[in-house]
Amino acid sequence: MTMNIKPLGARVIVAPLEKDVETFAGGQLVLPDTAKEKPQQGKVLAVGPGERDKDGKRIPMEVKVGDTVVFAKYAGTGFKTEDGEEILILKENDILAVLA
């Protein structure tokens, strides 16, 4: 994906990781997009410079480009890139964990 987006403040650009085909004991189940749950994991594509403290100094971000993160279920703003890929713009505090 070609992307030229620079997040501001404590915002993070994340590419949601879609789950593979849902499976159950009898085989595969293919759900329409409207019935699927929103993904809650993603890969960090870009990170803003961070918020400023009361003295105007930057507070460093806790995530970095390339991290796989878990985020709140309905967090962020969806955005479609020029090549049609869905990405999310999240606030850093919407990220719940970094997967090791």
* pLDDT tens by residue, the chain, 100 residues: 556 889 999 999 999 987 655 555 566 666 665 555 666 999 999 999 999 999 999 999 999 999 999 999 889 999 898 888 899 999 999 999 999 8
* 78-84: Cβ within 8 A, 24+ apart: 79/5, 81/1, 81/2, 81/3, 82/2, 83/1, 83/2
Nearest to 17 by CA among 65, 69, 89: 69
pTM over 0.85: no
Which CATH architecture fits 11-99?
Answer: Roll (2.30)
Residue type, 49: P
The answer to whether the beta carbons of residues 71 and 42 sit under 8 Å apart is: yes
d(CA 84, CA 38): 18
Helix extents (H) in 4-87? none
Residue type, 42: G
